Structure 1
Amino acid sequence: MKKNICIGTRGSQLALWQANFIKSEIARLFSDLNVELKIIKTTGDRITDRPLAMVGGKGLFVKEIETALLNNDIDLAVHSMKDMPGELPKGLVIGAIPKRENPFDVLISKDNRLFSDYKKGAKIGTSSLRRASQIKHIRPDLTIVSIRGNLDTRIKKLKAGDYDAIVLAAAGLRRLGQDNEITEYLDETIMIPAAGQGALCIETRENDESIAKVMEKLDHFDTRICVTGERAFLKQVEGSCHIPVACFGKIQNNDVLLTAVVASEDGKELIKEHMICPRNKIKISGRNLAKKILEKGGKKILEQLNSND
């Protein structure tokens, strides 16, 4: 086994927390290993003035890090799973998926109001088409406004009065100790999270046996099962930040309950389905759920979205 391991990561506050968490876990499990971080700037980090959907969607926060991994400049990469495209570059694999943090979206409001309490025209900030379309479907009377920047920047904009509320992922706030800012958790009955939301992805080179031994200790079986189903759905619908699609899996007895949605950008059309999936058939179940939604009108929605690009 290697004695020195280099982790590639973005330089944002949350990305560094995630990478340092994995670094500490490796150090705890393998006291003889020396672990260091290498910060890599991605395209997504450079573009901060436009919605992600306008500049490429998924892959913007991982491509340069994956290149470093393929070039042997780093030994593994730590990403937010929801940033990962459905298809990985040849030669790379998801080495481990640690135990998931809270997977849901949350509302942070300026005046401590709940989502249902806002009056017509209230301004809700989000950077996600997935969130925006689901909000528009439930509350078409609200005004959705794009917001970019790190967590602190978004919260400052909210408190400055630029928005009445903002919607973010719970996981980032909880990891950074800012969950006191959360007004309301929006569970899957209100808003389906992005595939992989709340989970970390540790990406490694295929057939790297020394790193694989480390990954075995970091992998969380139930999380991997759920995320595998979510990503199978995502890959089947060819989902990205360009289109409002979502899928969430949770353990239910010995099976997995997968719930997914495809929506139009304006939220007027939304197709939501669920499926009980055996754990040993989670990939095919995720694909079948996608096919079911596509057949029920999802394909037409996606074709309309693609024709508008």
Structure 2
Amino acid sequence: MTRVLRLGTRASALATTQSGHVADMVRALGHEVELVLVSTEGDVNRAPLAQMGGTGVFVSALRDALLDGTVDFAVHSLKDLPTTPQDGITLAAIPQREDVRDVIVSRDGLALADLPAGATVGTGSPRRAAQIKALGLGLEVVGVRGNVDTRIGKVTSGELDAVVLAHAGMNRLGRDAEVSEALDPSVMLPAPGQGALAIECRSDDTGLVEILGELDHAHTRAAVVCERQVLATLEAGCSAPLGALAEVVDADNGAELRVRAVALSHDGTVVVRNEAAGPPDDPRGLGARLGSAMLADGAAALMEANA
């Protein structure tokens, strides 16, 4: 009897859409897949993510389902994944990344810089909030939680003037037409791993590790490993909001991995930026070097400022 692979996913429209794309990729390899819905702490607890500890609130229940055999593999938004590996679980594949940028959805389709002073902009992300404040546009940043419909609904109802969302999610949901502006990374650096998906399974399920490995995209993995190492290095000495983006580009001597990152105080008044480049085959080393340089440049002091 053919094994039906059980794919664990959160129940939101975006999560099931993302998982559906991965299921189709696995089916294209000749395997049957069924989706299994798993409720996570981040789905049922409406408190701000920072109050829940932030990292792992959308992931731990899916990992528990993997380890207890309820599901065979799971799909996460990679930016939700803790930087510390979990025993018994393998990050089997990181498919090719979607658009990494953040976007504005606003009333009247206004770009971020065209919003009037005092306009309200909703986001639940300290990273987005700090970078908006650092622009000095006089905007009021308001905390929001909820799915894409809930957040955009706050704009259409007039409760907020704009919200910030991930372009990748809007694209995957087929809602790109609602985007008012895609923010260039020079204006707002994305979260480490933004736009990428993580496919995990049990480490001892070697056959499935091999199957899922066919979905891995080498350049995307190099980029997000580098970004997440910047995050891991800074987490050791800095609790500040952080953005990071790495890309594999063509250079004179062949492919090169380039990474840029920013750490900020929550009010956006202190900003530490840096960038680095190196070979794509050592993304972890490059990310660690950049993170260490940022700590030396003043990011370490942000830990006390953000306490």
TM-score tier by shorter-chain length is over 0.9
The residue number in structure 2 matching 1:72 is 69
Paired with 2:137 and 2:268, the residues of 1 have a C-alpha distance of 8
Contact persistence 1:244–1:265 (CA under 8 A): yes
TM-score (norm 2): 0.95
Paired with 1:277 and 1:206, the residues of 2 have a C-alpha distance of 30
SS of 1:133's partner is helix
Letter in 2 for 1:56: G
Post-superposition shift, 1:55? 1.7
Alignment of 1:135-284 (within 5 A): 135-139=132-136, 141-238=138-235, 243-253=240-250, 254-284=255-285
Given candidates 91, 94, 105, the residue that maps to 2:91 is 94
What percent identity do the matched residue pairs reach? 39
Post-superposition shift, 1:243? 3.8
Post-superposition shift, 1:238? 1.9
Contact persistence 2:246–2:259 (CA under 8 A): yes
Contact persistence 1:94–1:201 (CA under 8 A): yes
Paired with 1:10 and 1:42, the residues of 2 have a C-alpha distance of 7
Paired with 2:104 and 2:278, the residues of 1 have a C-alpha distance of 30
Paired with 1:92 and 1:279, the residues of 2 have a C-alpha distance of 25
For the pair 1:16 / 2:16, whether they are aligned, the reply is yes
TM-score (norm 1): 0.94
**Structure 1 residues 165-204: Cα deviation after superposition (integer angstroms, max 9, x where no partner):** 1110000110000010101111211000000000000011
Contact persistence 1:102–1:170 (CA under 8 A): yes
Contact persistence 1:105–1:185 (CA under 8 A): yes
Gaps of 5+ in 2: none
The residue number in structure 2 matching 1:53 is 50
Gaps of 5+ in 1: none
Paired with 1:41 and 1:224, the residues of 2 have a C-alpha distance of 27
Paired with 1:205 and 1:2, the residues of 2 have a C-alpha distance of 19
- The number of residue pairs the alignment matches comes to 301
For the pair 1:5 / 2:2, whether they are aligned, the reply is no
Paired with 2:272 and 2:190, the residues of 1 have a C-alpha distance of 15
Paired with 1:2 and 1:8, the residues of 2 have a C-alpha distance of 19
The residue number in structure 2 matching 1:62 is 59
The residue number in structure 2 matching 1:287 is 288
**Structure 1 residues 105-151: Cα deviation after superposition (integer angstroms, max 9, x where no partner):** 00111011111112211111111000000000012511000111110
Paired with 2:229 and 2:71, the residues of 1 have a C-alpha distance of 27
Letter in 2 for 1:6: R
Letter in 2 for 1:68: A
Q: Superposition RMSD on alpha carbons, in Å? A: 1.4
Paired with 1:186 and 1:134, the residues of 2 have a C-alpha distance of 11
SS of 1:22's partner is helix
Contact persistence 2:248–2:280 (CA under 8 A): no
SS of 1:20's partner is helix
Contact persistence 2:191–2:242 (CA under 8 A): yes
The residue number in structure 2 matching 1:34 is 32
Post-superposition shift, 1:94? 0.9
The residue number in structure 2 matching 1:43 is 41
